[in-house]
Amino acid sequence: MTRRYLVICLVLTALACGPHEVDPTGTWRGDVKIKRPSTGNKALDAQFAEVDKKPVPYELVLRPDKTYTETVAIVHKIDGTWTFEGRNVVLTPLKVDGKKPDEVKESLEKLNSKLQISLPLPEGLYGPESATLSDDHTTLMLPSVGTTAELKKEPTK
């Protein structure tokens, strides 16, 4: 009888401690320190270097309905859909500052051409980007221009 009771307790404990589904929904915040590559224009590089000294506030809200809003400082607002696979949150933009992603990509390419510079275009503005959830599920690492944004999950209210 005692052995049977012990086996049942072990099985129930194993089931209770088994893998739990991770829920990435919620608000994630952090500051991003941008590291831009050279544009090839010394005056413009100096201006960017001055701007890039300050961390940029970053917020990502993942909703249960699989939509998200990403806000980079007060400069860009991105709305889209997200999926969760393994430890990766894949963000697919639908609107960037009210425009379609392909329109944004085209206008950034035209700006690069007009200024005769070659800056990489942030993926999340025109196509899917993937963020990785830390092992302890408290940090979301999102590649950004020349760096990685480390976003911390805000406690639920």
- The Cα–Cα gap between 101 and 89 comes to 19
Of 118 and 143, the structure prediction assigns the larger pLDDT to 143
CA-to-CA distance for 139 and 131, rounded, in angstroms? 10
128-141 average pLDDT score? 92
Token pair of 60, please? 């990502």
- Token match 């990403």: residue? 70
In whole angstroms, give the CA distance from residue 123 to residue 136: 26
pLDDT digits (tens, 9 = 90+) for 94-132: 998 888 988 888 887 887 788 777 666 666 677 788 999
| List of residues 6+ apart from 45 with CB closer than 8 A | 38, 39
pLDDT in tens, 15-61: 444 445 789 999 999 987 766 667 777 877 787 777 677 778 889 99
Residue 43 pLDDT: 79
CB-based burial label for 98 (10 Å; 0-12, 13-18, 19+): exposed
Q: How confident is the model at residue 137 (pLDDT cuts 50, 70, 90)?
A: very high
pLDDT at residue number 11: 45
CA atoms lying within 13 Å on the CB side of residue 82: 28
pLDDT of residue 17: 44
Of residues 82 and 34, more confidence is placed in 82
46 vs 92, higher pLDDT: 92
Per DSSP, the three-state class of 65 is coil
Domains identified in the chain and CATH numbers: 20-153 (2.40.128)
Q: What is the pLDDT of residue 133?
A: 94
Neighbours of 55 (CB within 10 A): 13
Q: Determine the pLDDT at residue 67.
A: 98
Alpha-carbon Rg for the chain in angstroms: 21
Give residue 121's region: left, alpha or beta (phi > 0; psi -120 to 50). Answer: beta
pTM for the model stands at 0.72
pLDDT at 14 over 50: no
User: In the predicted model, what is the mean pLDDT of residues 63-83?
Assistant: 90
